Amino acid sequence: MATPHIEARDGDFADTVLMPGDPLRAEFIAETFLDDVVCVNRVRNMLAFTGTYRGRRISVMGSGMGIPSLSIYAKELITEYGVKRLVRVGSCGAVRDDVAVNDIVIGMGACTDSRVNRTRFNGHDFAAIADFGLTRHTVDAAAERGTPTQVGNLFSADLFYTPDVDFFQTMKRLGILGVEMEAAGLYGVAAEFGARALTVCTVSDHILKDEALDAQTRQTGFAEMMTITLDGLLRDDEEQAQ
């Protein structure tokens, strides 16, 4: 059933959706990693596609930037289209000395300065965490390929251009692996509406070292991140089938 934000018909989405922020990155992922691809949404140019990966039906859809945008799409995918697994695949900025540009970070949890999860949790702190099975299977897929990953806490920021730059030092001291803008919202939506979620990011810049990838690499790169994410989903399928 179409929503105000998604024109897809019943059955157009697979039960698993990859969610990059950029809709053009969604198109690139679909064209590069999936077979038999069909575009299922163009509303607001928030492109969505469904295809197959090694015979497994998978969808990919842009989420837009920030928790409010992602939360709309994630909620509607779960409640209106029956999506069971959502994986954010995107970029993040590093603050720790041992996290470098191009590293792959798996968000086991996500802190945030947004109030969305407190709003859904009666004003209390909500531990926004990834699904353990998805996390484990993605880590295992990376290990099998010999791909280094770092697993831990992300920080989902409301502001990209924050006025509180000193806070990055606090994040560094408390071990935050990457700063991005969506994971905590995704984990909250998944918890509320009964889906499973994960965030996998490639480090696109180091905030404290002033190092960054160019815009084209952000859009079309990150191939290793995509491969371990997709292989992790297949591992998760195998376990669910047992």
Beta-bridge mates of residue 60? 18, 49
Non-local CB neighbours of 147 within 8 Å, separated by 6+ positions: 104, 224, 228
Look up tokens 């591992």; give the residue. 235
Nearest 10 degrees: Cα torsion 188, 19, 134, 159: -50
226: amino acid identity, one letter: M
- Residue pointed to by tokens 């590093």: 94
Q: At what angle do helices 183-193 and 67-81 cross, to 10 degrees?
A: 30
The DSSP annotation for 83-96 comes to --EEEEEEEEEE-S
State the catalytic residues.
Answer: 205
